[in-house]
Amino acid sequence: MYVAKSISDLDDLATRMMALEEEAYNQFAHIFGLRLRAFFVRRGLSESDAEDLAGSCITDIALKVRHYRHVTGGGFNAWVFTLARHALVDWLRTRLPTQELPDDLPSEAANERTEEDLSVVLAVEEALAKLPDLDRSLILLRNLKEQDTYLSFLRKNKISVGAARVRHFRALKKLKEILQVDPRITTYLKDKESLE
C-alpha cells in the first residue's frame, strides 16, 4: 500500500477523507494506527491499552475530519497529534483516577482548544528552528527528561554537563525572547490570563 508521508501528502489524504473516499480511510488507519499506538506506549500505556486507545482514536478523529483546516507548518499530522494528546488526557482522567497524572496534563478547558494548542506548539517549533541545532537539541532533550538520551547526546558532542547547563540556559532565554514577540503566543497568554 502506498503510504503518504509528507505534509502535502497528508493534507491531500485529509481532503480525500472529506470527500468520503474509502481508500483514504484505509490509508488513514494504516498510517495513523501505528503512530498513535507508538505515541501511547511512549506515554506509559501498556501495549493492549495503547491499541485500544489507538483504535478508538482512529474512529473519533476520522469523524472530526470535516473540521480540519490546514495550519501552515503543522498540517494534518500535527492536527491528529493534538487530538490524540487530548484523547490520552481523557483516557487518563477516566481510567486512572488514583494514579499520579503527568505534570503536563492540560486543564479540562484547555483540552477543548485544539486549534489554540496547535498554534502554540507550532509557534514554539518555529522559534526552535531559529536556534542553532545544538541549542535546539539541548532544549528538546532536557525537556523530554530522558536522562540517558540527554547524557549520551552530551558525550557524543563532547560537552560537559556544566557547559550544557549554561548553554541550555542561554538557549532557553533566546527562545523566550523570540516567543515573546510572536502574536500567537501573546494572544494565547492573554486568553489564558483572562480565563484565570
Partner 1 sequence: MSEENNNMQQLDNYDTPDWLENALRSSAELERFGADAGEVENMSAAFHERCQEAADTALSLIKLRQERQRVGFVPLSFADYVQGLVRVANVRLSAVLQWLGIDDLKRPTPEAAKAFARLAKEIGLGVRETLIHIRIGFASLEDSAPVPLLVARHRSPMSRGNQLEECEVVLGQLESKYALDSLRELRRTEFEIRAAFHETKDKS
Angstrom distances, CA of residue 132 to CA of 39, 154, 168, 176? 27, 15, 12, 15
C-alpha cell at 132: 542553532
Nearer to partner 1, 59 or 157 (CB): 59
Q: Is 101 in the site for partner 1 (CB under 8 A)?
A: no
Least distance from C-beta 190 to partner 1, angstroms? 12
Q: Is 51 in the site for partner 1 (CB under 8 A)?
A: yes
Residues with Cβ < 8 Å from 123, sequence gap 6 or more?
A: 179, 182, 184, 185
Site track 118-147 with partner 1 (rule: CB under 8 A), x = hit: --xx-xxx--x----------xx--xx---
Residues 102, 48, 31, 146, CA torsion sign: positive
Nearer to partner 1, 31 or 92 (CB): 31
Interacting residues with partner 1 (CB under 8 A)? 3, 5, 20, 22, 25-26, 28-35, 37-39, 42, 51, 54-56, 58-60, 62-63, 66, 77-78, 81-82, 84-85, 103-104, 106, 112, 117, 120-121, 123-125, 128, 139-140, 143-144, 162, 165-166, 168-169, 172-173, 175-176, 179, 188-189, 192
